[in-house]
Amino acid sequence: MADGAAPKMTDTPRLAPFTPGPDTAREFRNAMGRFPTGVTVVTVQGPKGPMGITANSFSSVSIDPPLLLWCPAKYSSRFETFATAPRFAIHILGQGQMDVARGFAQRADAFEGLALDPCPHAVPLLADCLARFECKTVQTHDAGDHMIVVGEVIEAGYRDGEALVFSEGMFGRFVGH
């Protein structure tokens, strides 16, 4: 330590290191699950109509130009449609929207009962969300069992509210101090 003091000992359990690989895939997933993330629904206009998918692999990339990314899984039956869509929208879900997240995690067409806003680019836009980013795809990158999709944000909006959070396989909320 910088001031010469001895490190403080705690009763916190020690980490159990492992080498990520095929035999430790569950452990790797469990370790990654310790990082709480927000919950989003990504929507596109597919060849057979509007499609959505729940995703927590989402991040801001750049303010100037306004870029973000998300990562669809290659093993998803919806992968091809989302990976090749020229435009998409990302919706950050609020605390009371677990049913929306679960719906799009299970089905691409889980739009029934949801209010949609008009979009000149035919991308389905969920009206009830905490924030929304309409994007055009500008780059894709192969990334193991996922693809990184980089989008340029062409329109965004947000409202006040509490975000829906996902951690360790469960939905929840952020509790501040």
User: pLDDT tens across 74-89, in order?
Assistant: 999 999 999 999 999 9
- How buried is residue 21: exposed, middle or buried, by Cβ count under 10 Å (0-12/13-18/19+)? exposed
In 3D space, the residue among 148, 144, 142, 141 whose CA is nearest the CA of residue 21 turns out to be: 144
Per-residue pLDDT at 78: 95
> Are residues 174 and 163 in contact, defined by beta-carbon separation less than 8 angstroms?
yes
> Are residues 28 and 20 in contact, defined by beta-carbon separation less than 8 angstroms?
yes
75, two tokens: 């093993």
Considering the entire predicted model, what is its pTM? 0.86
- 113 compared with 9, residue with greater pLDDT: 113
Domains of the chain: 22-168 (2.30.110.10)
Dist CA 141 CA 149 (whole Å):
7
